[in-house]
Structure 1
Amino acid sequence: MEIRQLTYFSAVARHGSFTKAAQELHVTQPTLSKMVRLLEEELGATLFDRSSKPIALTDAGETILRSSQGILSSIDTMAAELDDVMQARKGTLRLGIPPMIGVHVFPSLIERFHSRYPQIRLQLVERGGKRIEEEVDSGELDVGLVILPMAQEDKFHLLPCMDETLHLIAPRDHWAAGRESVELGELEREPFLLFRDEFTLHHLILDHCRQAGFEPQVAFESSQWDFMVQLVRARFGITLLPGGMRRSLDPERFLVLPVVRPTMTWSLNMIWKKDKYLSFAAREWIAFMRQEWPAGTQA
C-alpha cells in the first residue's frame, strides 16, 4: 500500500466522482481508476459502489476512509513539523555555558534569540570549560562557551566572543585601596579563592602565578563565583575574576582593580565540533551569535 493510493482513494471519496478527483489531482481518469483498483486488489475488498450516481463508499470503503484520513493527517503534520525544523522554528539546542557567563552578559542574548525563534527550546547546561569541551566533543552538547586555551583546540570550530582582563576582587578596605592597579606578584601572600580544577580559569591563574615566581596559597575552591565573592566579603581571601563582573558587585563593599604585570586575559570563545552534523537550531544559533556578538568584543 502506498501513500499515493490512499491520497487518490480519499479524493474520489470526497468528490464522489473519479472525474472530479482526477481534475483535482491533475492525473488522467484511467490512471486514477487503476490506482484505486490496485488498492482494492491489495486489500481484497471493494471500496466503491460504482453502480450508484454519484459513486458511494461500501462498508469496507467507509472503514478504509476513516483509517486513511488519520494516516494522511499524520503525514501532513509530520511534513509541517519537518518544515518548521528546516526553517529553524523548532528544535532543541544543547548549550554549555560557564557559571560566570550566566549572570555576566548572557541573559540578554537568550532573550533576543528566544524572541526571534520562540519554538526553539534552549537546554542550558552550566559547566566548567574542560567539561564543556569534553561534552561538545562527545556530542552531549551542540555548542559551548569556553575560555581559551583548550586542550584539543584543533577538534573544534572557534568563534571569538569576548576578551576581558582579570581583576582583583578584594574587601573594600584592602591594602591596595586607592591604587589604579595591582601587580600579580604583589598578591603572593594573599589567600586565593579559585574555581575548581575543571574550570579553565583555575589553570590560567595558577600558570600566571607560577610565571610570576610564586605558588599561590589556595584557601578554597568552588564552582560558584557568587559564593567566592561572598567569601571575599567575609575576608576569607581574594579572587581574580573578569573585569566585567564589577557591574555585579557593590562598590561600597568590594575593591575591584585590574591586575598587571602580567595582564591576564579571559578569552571567551564559542565552540562546536568539526566534521559533525549540526541541527538546524544549532546552525541558527551560530549564525545569531555571529551577528549579535561580533568577534572579539571588548567588555
Structure 2
Amino acid sequence: MELRQLYYFVKVAKKEHVTQAAEELHVAQSAVSRQIHQLEEELGVKLFLQKGRNLQLTPVGQLFLKRAEVILTDLERAVVEIHEFLDPEKGEIRLGFPHSLGVSLIPQVVAAFRKLHPNVKFRFKQGMYPSLIRDMVKGEIDLAFISPFPDEHEHVCGEVLLTEELYAILPPNHRFAKEESIELSQLKEDTFVLFSEGYSLRPIVWEACQEAGFVPKIGFEGEETETIRGLVAAGMGVSLLPEMALHHTGLLEPAKVRIRHPLVTRNIGIIHRSGEKLPLVAKVFHGFLIRYFHDLLKKQQ
C-alpha cells in the first residue's frame, strides 16, 4: 500500500467523483482510477459503488476513510514538526475562527504576532461553532478561536481570552437611535435581523430577548456581520452585535446603543485538542495570545 493511494482515495471519497478528484490532484483520471483499483485489490474489498455519475463509499469504505484521514493527518503533522525542529520560526499554524472575528480581531492578532515572528505562516479556516469543534477533533486545525467557550468537552480544552459586550444596533432614524442606553425590552415590538441557525451569536441574542420578557420577531437572517449591519442600517430591523463588529464605518451605518438591561455579553476563547502537545510554533502562538489578551484587559481596566 502506498501513501499516494491513500491521498487519491481520500480525495475521491470527498469529491465522490474521479474526474473532479483528478482535476484537483492535477493528475490524469486514469491514474486515479488505477490507484483506487489497486488499493481495492490489495484490501480485497470494494471501497466505492457507482451511483449515477458519482461514486458512493461502501460501509467498509466509510470505515477505511476514517483511518486513512487519521494516517494522513498524522503524517502531515509529522512533516510540520520536522520543519519546526529544523527552524521553529518557519512553521505553519492552522487556525480556525468564527466569521464574526474575521473583521478585526484575527487580522489584528495575527499582524501583532508576525511582527515578532515574520516567517511563521498561517492556514486559516472559518466556520460555525459545530464545524470548528469537529475540525479540531479531527486534527484539521491546531488552534481555534471560539464563542461561546465550551464549558466541558471530552476532546477539546483551552482558555477564555475575553468577554465582550453586545450592543443594540438600530436604523439611523429609529426612535431610540439617539439614546445613550436602552432596556432590551423596549425593542420587543421591533423586527429583528439575526444570524442564521448554527451561528453562535443567534442563541445569545435569542436568550437575551427571552430574559427581557419577549420572543424576537425575525424579519431577516444573514451569515455575515456586514450583512447584518447593512440590513439594519437600511431600516430592515434591529439587532445585537458585539462591539468589535462595529469598529468599521461605511456609507451606511446603523446607530449603536448600549443595552443597560439585561447585560448581554459573549465570551471568546482559544481551544486545542485535549491530551495532545501543540506543535511548537502553535505553542508559541498560544502563549502569545494569553499575554496579548492579558495586556489588553489591563489596559481596559
Deviation sequence 1:246-298 (CA, Å, 0-9, x none)? 32135984210111221111211111121023211211110111222218835
Contact (CA 8 Å) 1:137, 1:273: kept in 2 or not?
yes
Partners in 1 of 2:221 and 2:119 — Cα distance? 39
Contact (CA 8 Å) 1:192, 1:216: kept in 2 or not?
yes
Which residue number corresponds to residue 137 of structure 1? Answer: 137
Partners in 1 of 2:154 and 2:265 — Cα distance? 21
Partners in 2 of 1:284 and 1:86 — Cα distance? 15
Q: Kindly report the root-mean-square deviation, in angstroms, between the aligned alpha carbons of the 2 structures.
A: 2.6
Identity of paired residues, percent? 23
In the alignment, structure 1 segments of 5+ residues that lack a partner are 1-80
Contact (CA 8 Å) 2:229, 2:253: kept in 1 or not?
no
Name the stretch that deviates more: 81-90 or 255-264.
Answer: 81-90
Deviation sequence 1:42-81 (CA, Å, 0-9, x none)? xxxxxxxxxxxxxxxxxxxxxxxxxxxxxxxxxxxxxxx9
Indicate how the Cα distance of structure 1 residues 253 and 122 shifts in structure 2: closer, same or farther if over 3 A, else same: closer
Query: TM-score, normalized by length of structure 1?
Result: 0.66
Which residue number corresponds to residue 157 of structure 2? Answer: 157
SS for the counterpart of 1:293 is helix
> Greater CA radius of gyration, 1 or 2?
1
Partners in 2 of 1:127 and 1:182 — Cα distance? 32
Which residue number corresponds to residue 108 of structure 2? Answer: 108
Partners in 1 of 2:84 and 2:92 — Cα distance? 12
Cα displacement (A) at 1:230: 1.0
Indicate how the Cα distance of structure 1 residues 82 and 154 shifts in structure 2: closer, same or farther if over 3 A, else same: closer
SS for the counterpart of 2:231 is helix
SS for the counterpart of 2:247 is helix
In the alignment, structure 2 segments of 5+ residues that lack a partner are 1-80
Indicate how the Cα distance of structure 1 residues 214 and 296 shifts in structure 2: closer, same or farther if over 3 A, else same: farther
Contact (CA 8 Å) 1:192, 1:238: kept in 2 or not?
yes
Cα displacement (A) at 1:118: 3.0
Cα displacement (A) at 1:213: 2.1
Which residue number corresponds to residue 190 of structure 1? Answer: 190
Query: TM-score, normalized by length of structure 2?
Result: 0.66
Contact (CA 8 Å) 1:161, 1:295: kept in 2 or not?
no
Q: 1:91 is matched by which residue type in structure 2?
A: G
Indicate how the Cα distance of structure 1 residues 272 and 83 shifts in structure 2: closer, same or farther if over 3 A, else same: closer
Partners in 1 of 2:278 and 2:95 — Cα distance? 13
Indicate how the Cα distance of structure 1 residues 246 and 208 shifts in structure 2: closer, same or farther if over 3 A, else same: same
Q: 2:101 is matched by which residue type in structure 1?
A: I
Which residue number corresponds to residue 274 of structure 1? Answer: 274
Indicate how the Cα distance of structure 1 residues 207 and 295 shifts in structure 2: closer, same or farther if over 3 A, else same: farther
Indicate how the Cα distance of structure 1 residues 210 and 229 shifts in structure 2: closer, same or farther if over 3 A, else same: same
Cα displacement (A) at 1:197: 1.8
Which residue number corresponds to residue 173 of structure 2? Answer: 173
Q: 1:231 is matched by which residue type in structure 2?
A: L
Deviation sequence 1:157-213 (CA, Å, 0-9, x none)? 322222211101111121102311111111112111111222211111112212222
Partners in 2 of 1:155 and 1:218 — Cα distance? 35
Partners in 2 of 1:254 and 1:92 — Cα distance? 38
Contact (CA 8 Å) 1:93, 1:122: kept in 2 or not?
yes
Indicate how the Cα distance of structure 1 residues 199 and 83 shifts in structure 2: closer, same or farther if over 3 A, else same: closer
Indicate how the Cα distance of structure 1 residues 95 and 102 shifts in structure 2: closer, same or farther if over 3 A, else same: same
Cα displacement (A) at 1:145: 0.7
Contact (CA 8 Å) 1:172, 1:251: kept in 2 or not?
no
